[in-house]
Amino acid sequence: MKLRDIVVEKAIVTNLVATKRDDAIKELLDALVASGKVSADMRDTFAKSIIARENKGSTGLNHGVAIPHTKTTTVKTPLAAIGVSRGGVEFNSLDKQPVFSIFLLVSPEDKPELHLDAIQAIFSHLSKDQFRRFLRQATTVKDVVTLLDEADAGQAAR
């Protein structure tokens, strides 16, 4: 699965305002709602679901990245929003460091293989130092889209 297949371009936020986990999740959900890919009446339901999942175990990984996610019957394909924080978001990460890059994923509940494919696609790129560095340095949506296109084309350095 390619990142561009799941990332909603209109839900890329290159300057997250939030500094706390729950606020960042809501800010990215707001971006998905504004993009028209997620209905506004589902925003709070998704927020509660994602935050409940985070309370069971953080999706804040090492190296300043997080992949909060939920499954729902209201989407047919995985959808992701990307948030880039300049100052960092407290996410209760495994390495106890702030998170600077967040991929928020909403997947169809009845297609677990698509959810796993999406998580794997995101994680495989976030595990690459150069990808993380370029994402963190991105200041425009165009910068992020270019990075995603290069990663999908296999051009992003490992």
pLDDT tens readout for residues 99-111: 999 999 999 999 9
| pLDDT interval class at 157 (50, 70, 90) | very low
CATH class belonging to 3-152: alpha beta
**Per-residue model confidence as pLDDT tens digits over 32-76:** 999 999 999 999 999 999 999 999 988 988 899 999 999 999 999
Instruction: For residues 66 and 158, give the distance between their C-alpha atoms in angstroms, rounded to a whole number.
Output: 19
The percentage of the chain sitting over the pLDDT mark of 70, rounded to a whole number, equals 97
Quote the CA–CA distance of 69 and 74 in Å, as a whole number.
Answer: 14
Among the listed residues 7, 21, 70, 64, the one whose alpha carbon sits nearest the alpha carbon of residue 43: 70
Asked whether 120 and 126 are in contact (CB, 8 A), the reply is no
DSSP line for 106-138 = EEETT-HHHHHHHHHHHHHHHTSHHHHHHHHH-
